[in-house]
């Protein structure tokens, strides 16, 4: 078997937040019991409402956020037991990240050339002339003319800035790219261009891709596998090809039912009430306060993971597949 690029095992992220003065601290449960394996060349989509833990998951995957509990393994090695220098090298060269808003993700004082070359300078990758050549190669790869190398990010359009961000993420030839809402800050007219570019680069370079978005339809089209998150938990994991008709978790089905543009739309499933607080999550299943199938069992205990037909889900009362 091919060794996974990255594995998360029972990963928890808990933050301390002041809510009632200097002596009062609450705990924010940003990520709870996350298990995830990413294989070489695979695209894993991550969906869920704002505040569900998608960005925290991304930060764990790229080594920005250290888990409170659990292990993060890169190519068979535990990331957080490595010496710091080796960890920086492993993450810096093996993983690239594309952030949500290129206007804030790029240093406005550096030229495009400097922005793209920066990771190579930090990690002393190649000679100076090799780095310059790599910058020219990367700009061509993402469809930017060489003349833009000497301009500042503020002189570019939103789509061009995101192409620069993608070039920077590819600078050290990573095996994995984590894209956190990479098109949400862009005009509708350029979103499809950036999505097609990511798909093209993934195929040409053999990249694994974590694609994070609140747009479940885009995730379904981009991905091999779809992860649904709710209140810091992964509640369902499904092959992308069957997630629409065969999702078992009520939350996944509700997300799809609220999505316009389906050829065969689902009956709308309204979710009543707000997402519960990550500081004081509900007992048992976190979705039970908004779920139309919840009962006393859901309040008593978090469902154990169950699997059927390639799906893994956590639900005491799973849904049947939609009729063909």
For 224-235, write each residue's pLDDT tens digit: 999 999 999 999
Q: What is the mean pLDDT of residues 162-169?
A: 96
Q: Which residue has the higher pLDDT, 309 or 292?
A: 292
Give the β-pairing of 176-180 and 208-212: parallel
When the pLDDT of each residue in the chain is averaged and rounded to a whole number, the result is 90
231 touches 30 (CB < 8 A): no
pTM reported for the whole predicted model: 0.90
Q: Which helix (H) or strand (E) holds 58?
A: helix 54-61
For residue 14, with 0-12 CB atoms within 10 Å meaning exposed, 13-18 middle and 19 or more buried, which class applies? middle
The angle subtended at Cα 106 by Cα 101 and Cα 109, nearest 5°, is 140
Give the C-alpha separation, 239 to 310, whole Å. 7
What are the two backbone dihedrals, phi and then psi, of residue 4, each rounded to the nearest 5 degrees? Answer: -60, 150
pLDDT in tens, 53-104: 999 999 999 999 999 999 999 988 999 999 999 998 889 889 999 998 888 9
Beta-carbon-side half-sphere exposure of residue 218 (alpha carbons within 13 Å): 23
253 touches 313 (CB < 8 A): no
Among 91-105, 207-221, 307-321, where is mean pLDDT lowest? 307-321
Q: What is the pLDDT of residue 38?
A: 95
Among 34-48, 112-126, 183-197, 224-238, where is mean pLDDT lowest? 183-197
Which residues on adjacent β-strands are paired with residue 71?
A: 9
Confidence check: pLDDT of 117 > 60: yes
């Amino acid at each position: 078997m091919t060794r996974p690029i990255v594995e998360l095992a029972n990963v928890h992220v808990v933050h301390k937040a002041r809510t009632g003065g200097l002596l009062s601290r609450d705990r924010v449960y940003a990520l709870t019991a996350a298990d995830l394996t990413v294989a070489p060349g695979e695209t894993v989509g991550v969906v869920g409402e704002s505040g569900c833990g998608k960005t925290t998951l991304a930060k764990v995957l790229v080594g920005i956020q250290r888990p409170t509990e659990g292990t993060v393994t890169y190519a068979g090695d535990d990331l957080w037991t490595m010496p710091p220098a080796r960890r920086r090298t492993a993450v810096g060269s093996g993983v690239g990240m594309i952030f949500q808003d290129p206007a804030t993700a790029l240093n406005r004082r550096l030229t495009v050339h400097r922005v793209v070359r920066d990771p190579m300078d930090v990690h002393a990758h190649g000679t100076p002339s090799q780095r310059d050549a790599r910058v020219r190669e990367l700009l061509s790869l993402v469809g930017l003319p060489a003349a833009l190398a000497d301009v500042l990010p503020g002189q570019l359009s939103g789509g061009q800035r995101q192409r620069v961000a993608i070039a920077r993420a590819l600078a050290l030839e990573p095996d994995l790219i984590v894209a956190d809402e990479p098109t949400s800050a862009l005009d509708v007219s350029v979103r499809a261009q950036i999505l097609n570019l990511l798909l093209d680069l993934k195929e040409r370079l053999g990249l694994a891709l974590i694609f994070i978005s609140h747009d479940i339809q885009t995730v379904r089209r981009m991905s091999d596998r779809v992860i649904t998150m709710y209140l810091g938990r992964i509640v369902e994991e499904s092959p992308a090809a069957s997630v629409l008709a065969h999702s078992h978790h009520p939350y996944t089905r509700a997300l799809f039912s609220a999505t316009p543009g389906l050829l065969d739309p689902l009956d709308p499933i309204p979710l009543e009430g707000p997402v519960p607080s990550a500081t004081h999550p509900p007992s048992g299943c976190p979705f039970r306060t908004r779920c139309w199938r919840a009962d006393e069992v859901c309040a008593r205990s978090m469902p154990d993971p169950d699997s059927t037909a390639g799906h893994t889900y956590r639900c005491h009362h799973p849904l049947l597949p939609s009729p063909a």
